[in-house]
Amino acid sequence: MSAHKIKHVLSVTTAGLLGAAIMVGAAQAAVANAPPSILVFSQKPAGSQVSIDYVNIPANGYVVVYAADANGKPTGAPLGSVAVNAGSHMDLKVALSAAPAPGKNLWASLYKDKDGKEGFNKQGDKAVWSQIPMQNAFTVQ
């Protein structure tokens, strides 16, 4: 192969890699600018673990699972939480303090890590309330 052809191949390859890097960067920026959301469906948990189908969060934070009161609203102390980095996540597992009974309603909520400490802290971390859906109810089967 001639030196001219090698230069051409290298410049085309370099341009292609640069273009791919720009597209990846743009995709990451789009995810970071997407509104926070959480999606979870009714499910049969694996022991004391539930699955969260999809999460998008613009900053590092937590997915937190709560029980529901008689009116179907989130209540009490969290049953479990999992830390998530900023971005989109699929099929997250959240370990709960106890296996939920069939027919029990639960809530999954998003919190931004505001206190910088390891682990979820309801007083130090901030609930994501300004976006819809910021929490999602689901039923244990």
Examine the domain organization and report whether 45 and 84 are in the same domain.
yes
Examine the domain organization and report whether 70 and 95 are in the same domain.
yes
Domain with 21 in it: 1-33
Q: Does pLDDT of 24 surpass 70?
A: no
Rounded to whole angstroms, the Cα distance separating 27 from 15 reads: 18
Place of tokens 């910021």: 134
The pLDDT mean for the chain works out to 81
Q: What is residue 55's DSSP assignment? A: E
Q: Does pLDDT of 8 surpass 50?
A: no
Examine the domain organization and report whether 29 and 41 are in the same domain.
no
- What is the number of structural domains in the chain? 2
| Token pair belonging to 36 | 């926070």
Confidence (pLDDT) at 136: 86
Examine the domain organization and report whether 3 and 70 are in the same domain.
no
Reduce the DSSP state of residue 19 to 3 states and report it.
helix
Q: What is residue 137's DSSP assignment? A: E
Q: Does pLDDT of 18 surpass 90?
A: no
Confidence (pLDDT) at 2: 62
Examine the domain organization and report whether 19 and 67 are in the same domain.
no
Using one digit for the tens of pLDDT, what is the confidence trace for 43-95? 999 999 999 999 999 999 999 999 998 888 888 889 999 999 999 999 999 99
Rounded to whole angstroms, the Cα distance separating 109 from 74 reads: 9
90, 53 contact by CB (below 8 A)? yes
Examine the domain organization and report whether 27 and 43 are in the same domain.
no
Confidence (pLDDT) at 14: 44
